[in-house]
Structure 1
Amino acid sequence: MTQPSRIALVTAAGGGIGSAAVQHLLTSGLAVVAVDRDAAALEALQACLPAAALHTFTGDTTSEAEVAQAVELAGSLGELAVLVNGVGSTCGSSLRDLTLGEWQRLFAVNLTSAFLCIKAALPLLEAAAGDRVIINISSTLAQVADPETLAYGAFKAGLEQMTRALALEVAPQRIRAVAIAPGPVAATGGEAGFETDENARLNPLGRFARVDEIGALIAFLASPAASYITGTIMRVDGGDSALGAGWGPLHALLRDRRP
């Protein structure tokens, strides 16, 4: 009897980290349902990765109905074994400039999206055999305060705490939950002017992360080799968090704001 395909569902799959995750998960032997609200980004992904095991779904992960459709597609293809919540957004506003509407939008994108995907996917993950994992993409800004990303940092911190609590809830079913917290990542559509050589040199390794490094970590965490890793936050920041006092450019930002 043929074994059912093992499926990974990846949200924000058209972005830099998401597309790298899709590539590495396909290489590891998983079939992938790539979800993004940007149809053109998914078409570009399929053009770069023309694999029969790649399936796409255009939808908004802040919509409960559209999330349910994406999860239903994954379930129709085989056993859902991996969920990667990669959706995130920031606006670069301080508290004084942040509107209620923008706060609510960022909450929906950075936290509600993951909640909806996990809640919809969990019954399929519980029904699948073998190793299963939920991987949430956080940020080092969940732990390092930045006055320009107040809402984003707060919601990513919430995502990390949700990951820890979830790991304990699903552990009896031998399902794992982990989060990855990248520092600055090169070429992912970040704010113009941020990815400068000067900023990169402030990192202990002298550069920003590459999306393929994050994608490779996602594939590792989705593999049996990581079967004892759960409830933890994986920092991928080139040593920034070891500095203790925060990231260099933030010091410069605060210095320049002093009267």
Structure 2
Amino acid sequence: MKHALVTGGSGGIGAAVCRKLAADGYHVLIHANLNPDNAHALADEIIADGGSAQALGFDITDHAAVVTILTPLLEQTPIQVLVNNAGIHDDAVFPGMSPEQWHSVMDVSVNGFYNVTHTLMMPMIRTRWGRIINVSSIAALTGNQGQVNYAAAKGAINSATKSLAREVASRGITVNAVAPGIIDTAMSQHVFSKEEIAQMVPMKRAGTPHEVAELIGFLASPHAAYITGQIISINGGMI
């Protein structure tokens, strides 16, 4: 059984991805930092449904903590599927954005990507098979007012995706990014009204975490072996 790690696995999109990968036969490692109880509850749910899962708690911005938690797991078996889903918003117009707002968002998305992916990289390479899927955002492709920090962080992830894909393609490892638009999660419900979504999205609705998870599940599967270095949008036709 292949092992898959989903960072930010207890949130809306992350939880849907964990359920999808578990249904596809992976042992799912559900990462959480601020909400460990949610990760444990999700692991219990997956196990009750006949899947295989466990919760992991650590701060992805802390390189030493990442290595400490993941190294013992890697000594037992490689983690061959990685979904870098963890990310945070801390919005403000740029002239009023504090250094803390800038650095915290960049730290989770960009440094978190490095800390986790780098730790898993060599064990994955040795198996000559792997899937790395990075969760980006439409904000990285179009920009968004009040989200210079978030758009910059996700834009960096897009560029890292393309570069890393070139480095590891010959090792049987694909690296792609998924860029969601407006997705029906607890976070978006406080940002957009149904009327605003109908105006912004040609499909007149928000996407669902399940729809994003289905795309990620496909990219993690053997069927996506020739897809790498791509930024794949899922946004109901917004761009």
> Which SS does the other structure have where 1:206 is aligned?
coil
Partner of 1:31: 27
Partner of 2:5: 9
Cα distance in 2, alignment partners of residues 71 and 86 from structure 1: 17
CA, structure 1 residues 74+216, in 2 after alignment: closer, same or farther (shift >3 Å)?
farther
- The C-alpha deviation readout for 1:217-237, integer Å capped at 9, x for no partner, is 111111000000000001000
- The C-alpha deviation readout for 1:136-155, integer Å capped at 9, x for no partner, is 00000001121211110011
Aligned residue identity for 1:20:
A
Cα distance in 1, alignment partners of residues 75 and 13 from structure 2: 26
Contact map agreement 1:7 1:74 (CA 8 A) in 2:
no
Partner of 2:165: 167
Cα distance in 2, alignment partners of residues 206 and 191 from structure 1: 15
Cα distance in 2, alignment partners of residues 134 and 158 from structure 1: 15
How far did residue 81 of structure 1 move? 1.2
Pick the structure with greater CA Rg. Answer: 1
> Which SS does the other structure have where 1:214 is aligned?
helix
Partner of 1:92: 91
How far did residue 39 of structure 1 move? 1.1
Cα distance in 2, alignment partners of residues 145 and 46 from structure 1: 35
Aligned residue identity for 1:32:
V
Aligned residue identity for 2:110:
L
Aligned residue identity for 2:109:
N
Contact map agreement 2:5 2:30 (CA 8 A) in 1:
yes
Aligned residues: 235
Partner of 2:122: 123
Instruction: Return the TM-score normalized by structure 1.
Output: 0.86
Q: 1:142 aligns with which of 140, 155, 168?
A: 140
Partner of 1:195: 192
Cα distance in 1, alignment partners of residues 189 and 104 from structure 2: 18
Partner of 1:217: 215
Instruction: Return the TM-score normalized by structure 2.
Output: 0.93
Matched-pair identity in %: 27
Partner of 1:237: 235
> Which SS does the other structure have where 1:208 is aligned?
coil
How far did residue 57 of structure 1 move? 0.6
- The C-alpha deviation readout for 1:29-60, integer Å capped at 9, x for no partner, is 11111111021221221243225620111111
Name structure 1 gaps, 5 residues minimum. 242-259
Contact map agreement 1:81 1:133 (CA 8 A) in 2:
yes
- The C-alpha deviation readout for 1:159-211, integer Å capped at 9, x for no partner, is 1001000000111212110000000110242362x231112212111101100
How far did residue 127 of structure 1 move? 1.8
Contact map agreement 2:40 2:54 (CA 8 A) in 1:
no
Aligned residue identity for 2:66:
V
Does residue 1:153 correspond to 2:151, yes or no?
yes
Cα distance in 1, alignment partners of residues 185 and 135 from structure 2: 17
Name structure 2 gaps, 5 residues minimum. none
Contact map agreement 1:35 1:70 (CA 8 A) in 2:
no
> Which SS does the other structure have where 2:83 is aligned?
strand
Cα distance in 2, alignment partners of residues 207 and 149 from structure 1: 22
Cα distance in 1, alignment partners of residues 51 and 236 from structure 2: 35
